Structure formats: C-alpha cells, structure tokens
Structure 1
Amino acid sequence: MQSNPGKIYLADQRGLTETSVLRRYSTFNFEKYYNEHKEPFGDLFLCNDESVVGGKITFFLCKEDSLQIFMPITGGIDLVANGKEFAVETGQVQVLNMGKGEVLEISNPYQNDIVNYIQFGIKTGMFLMRASEMLFDFDLEKNHLIEIIANPKLPFKLSAGIFAAREEVIYKMQSPNHQFYTFIIDGAFEIEGRLMHARDGLALWDIGQVELEALSNNAIVLVLEIGF
C-alpha cells in the first residue's frame, strides 16, 4: 500500500546513449536526453548507469556546481579532474567537487573487460572537503544496510545493503524534511508498497522512515538521503 508521496523511475524508461566506447542509461534528463517526467529530484540532478569498454576513455562535462559520486559495480575506473588522478575500485566510492563547466576524464584501466559504474550528481554551492578526503571504502554485510558515507560536511548520506529474499530493513530518516532516493543495483525489492526491480529508482519525500523488503536472493540496494 502506497501511503507516502513518491515517484518511480523505471529502468526500461531511462534515456539511452550508446557509442563504440560507452553505454549510458540516464534516470534524469542528461545531455541530449529529455523527458518532461524526468526532471531532477531536488538537488539530485544526475543518476547515470554507465559501462565503458576495455581500455577506453570517456568525458563528463559538469553542468552544475556539484558533488559527483562514482561507485564502480564491476571492475574499477580511473578519474582525472583538474590534473589529479583518482583510481576507484569495486568496494569504494569516490566523491569529487566539480564546478560548472569543468570536464572530467573517466577511463577503463582494464584492456579486455567492460566496467560498469553508477554516477550521482548532487547540486551544492559549498565544497568543504578535498577530493583526496572523499574516497570511501566499504564491505557489504548480508541483511544489513550499512552507511558508506555519513559526513557532516556533505549534504547527503549514502547507504547500501545486500539482502536475502524476504529480509526486511527499516531506514530511519535523519529528518522528515530530507529527501529519500533509492536505486536498485540487483534483484527485486518492495519499498513502501512499491515493487522495484534492478536499476529502477524511487524518490520519496515527507517521510520519517522507509520500509524495504528484498524479494530475491542477493538483492542489492543503494539509498541516498539528501538535504542535510
């Protein structure tokens, strides 16, 4: 039963960009992809699911002063921002401060393997941390939602978990005024009465806590709480 206001972003309704180097699925409007129903969710304006072929490079032009969050799902990526290099592997999340108009180089260091990563963009006018301070390591714990990023200098909290079928967890918001966004990496979940499958997204607001139930084994979910 759906009792709270929310919006589902179905995986098969995302924008698709495909080149010889890159395959990108965009949950929100991005570059040439536009849909009137895919406007940003508050300060969260970017949620891209990207795959880069072996040994290749792609570029990202930042359209907002923002924090860009990179989370490899398979393999790892190398990032070059302002002449500085950052290597990010599975089990890590890198956050970068980016100003409007800045260009980021993203490359796949593996010659023979495709890498897949999720990129989130959150608008902010305040950069209180250096990029070197914003590499976060994590290990998923079965049937637990762990905090990956929870730093008072950042305007969001990022959590993730891997669950067996029928396992439940309740996510408690730090404030009902914050916004909740979840992205399913793998498997299926029921979240506040809404059925969610792999690579679906869900935005919720005006809510104090969120109930999540895994519907398949090894189901993986990401949770962003935004508005700190």
Structure 2
Amino acid sequence: MKTVYHKADSRGYADHGWLKSHHTFSFANYYNPERMNFGVLRVLNDDQVASGMGFGTHPHRDMEIVSIPLEGDLEHKDSMGTAAVIRNGEIQVMSAGTGVMHSEYNKNKDGLVKFLQIWIIPNKMNVEPRYDQISIKEGEKLNDFQQILSPNADDDGVWIYQNAWFNMAKFEKGFSREYKLHDPKNGVYIFVLKGSAKVGDQTLETRDGFGVWETDKFNLEALEDSEILLMEVPMELP
C-alpha cells in the first residue's frame, strides 16, 4: 500500500476578505508541483464565504464539480436555468461538460457559509451539462460508510462521469471498520472534517488529508467522535 499524508496546516491558503480558502491541491495562486492532484481528484478546497458575498458568474468546462456545504446556506445559479440553495446535509454535483456558467453566494444575512469545493476530472468529455442535488440524510448511517456519490445513477447519492465513489463516515469514538475499494486501480483520499482518526499507523486530525492506493482495503478507526469524507477515485488520469 502506498500513502501520502497532507497535514491540515500544510495546505495552501488564500484570504480575499470575503473568501477564505484552504487548498489541499494546487489552485489559483497556490502552486506546489508535488500537490497537483490525487489521481483524478484535482481540487479539494475548504472554503468559507462572508455574509452576502460569493463567486460571481464564471465558466467551467469538462469537470465534475461537487459542493458539500458544512455550515450555512449556499445559493447556486447557472446557465442551465438552475436556481437552488444547498445546505449542510446536502450534496450538489454539476457536470460542466461542453460548458456552463454559474455563480455561488452566501444566502445568510449574517454568518458564514462553509463548504467543500471538489473538482473531479471526468472520464467522458463534451457531455451535455447537468446539475443534481440531494439530501445526505444526516445520521441515517451512524458507524457506517454512507455512500453519497458514485458512477451509477441508480445507486445511493449523486452520480458523476467518473469511476468514483464518495462516502461519509460518522464514527463514534473507538469504532473501526474496514473499507474495501470498488476498483483495484483506484485510491482513496481520506479527509477528516471533525475529530481524529487512524488509518494503519497514521493518526489524522481535523482537516488532515491522507491518500492510500495500491491496496484493496484498509481499516479506519475513530479516535474520538468523528466525521470523515472518503473519496475513492481512479489513480490514472484520462
């Protein structure tokens, strides 16, 4: 098994006043040639947006864009005619495909919006742009892996144009469980949202990231009550 460890305070950081963002991988003005991606996982941004502020209308193309709100209400509008608000406990996906314009704003009159912005390189280019949003059903699977994204429209969660699976793990202190990969060519990037956990001999604290690949399984143990996002993605770029 190969691994890579990204400590929370090693991430890139940008402070634009209205936006504060930590970048796990190279993004915008943060460039680290050793932190370009994890397989097809290209962007993992940990964003917080000030009240009444947001990202103005901007373009995307040929990218699967996943948003997971952690706190507050995030308003989304796009050139497909979508106008929606996503909240903690929900997940949004947008296949940019042949091209889409969209904007994102903090809907709250006071208080921050905190969310994860995740970009996945797709395995199918020039598709018709699409949008989807679902509830993750918080607490439904305590001490279990709760699938929130897959390649299959009929499976639990949203779907994307890539051989990827995302799971949310809400584990109580001391609970451990084995994760089995869906595809031996994939790897898993583990991102601790809250609490602390252990994979093998590696201890992970809040906002630490840990990638594992060239293995078919690994064990995840919660060292305290924890919330952890597991992103299984192909390691070979298209």
User: TM-score under structure 2 normalisation?
Assistant: 0.86
Which residue of 2 is the match for residue 88 of structure 1? 86
1:171 corresponds, among 176, 179, 198, to 179
1:67 corresponds, among 59, 64, 67, to 64
Please, which moves more after superposition, 119-128 or 70-79?
119-128
Which residue of 2 is the match for residue 206 of structure 1? 214
Please, which moves more after superposition, 185-194 or 119-128?
119-128
1:104 lines up with 2:102 in the alignment? yes
Which structure 2 residues correspond to residues 1-228 of structure 1 after superposition, within 5 A? Answer: 4-59=1-56, 65-82=62-79, 83-99=81-97, 102-124=100-122, 125-126=124-125, 127=127, 130-131=130-131, 134-138=132-136, 139-140=138-139, 141-152=141-152, 154=160, 155=162, 156-217=164-225, 219-227=226-234
What do residues 123-150 of structure 1 show as CA deviations (whole Å, max 9, x unaligned)? 113447831xx21211233211111123
What do residues 45-100 of structure 1 show as CA deviations (whole Å, max 9, x unaligned)? 10000000111122485676210000001122111221432321111100001248
User: d(CA) in 2 for partners of 1:38 and 1:61?
Assistant: 25
User: d(CA) in 2 for partners of 1:61 and 1:130?
Assistant: 16
* 8 A contact 1:64–1:123 mirrored in 2: no
Structure 2 unaligned segments of length 5 or more: list them: 154-159
Q: Quickly say closer, same or farther: Cα 1:100–1:23, change in 2 above 3 A.
A: farther
**Which AA in structure 1 matches 2:145?**
L
Following superposition, the deviation at residue 184 of structure 1 comes to 0.7
Number of equivalenced pairs: 222
User: d(CA) in 2 for partners of 1:77 and 1:184?
Assistant: 22
Following superposition, the deviation at residue 5 of structure 1 comes to 0.4
User: d(CA) in 2 for partners of 1:13 and 1:53?
Assistant: 24
Q: Quickly say closer, same or farther: Cα 1:62–1:169, change in 2 above 3 A.
A: farther
The RMSD of aligned alpha carbons is 2.1
**Which AA in structure 1 matches 2:25?**
F
Q: Quickly say closer, same or farther: Cα 1:204–1:45, change in 2 above 3 A.
A: same
User: d(CA) in 2 for partners of 1:173 and 1:62?
Assistant: 33
* 8 A contact 1:60–1:103 mirrored in 2: yes
User: d(CA) in 2 for partners of 1:84 and 1:63?
Assistant: 15
Identity, in percent, stands at 23
* 8 A contact 1:40–1:46 mirrored in 2: yes
**Which AA in structure 1 matches 2:26?**
N
User: d(CA) in 2 for partners of 1:202 and 1:61?
Assistant: 31
User: d(CA) in 1 for partners of 2:5 and 2:60?
Assistant: 24
User: d(CA) in 2 for partners of 1:62 and 1:142?
Assistant: 38
* 8 A contact 2:96–2:129 mirrored in 1: no
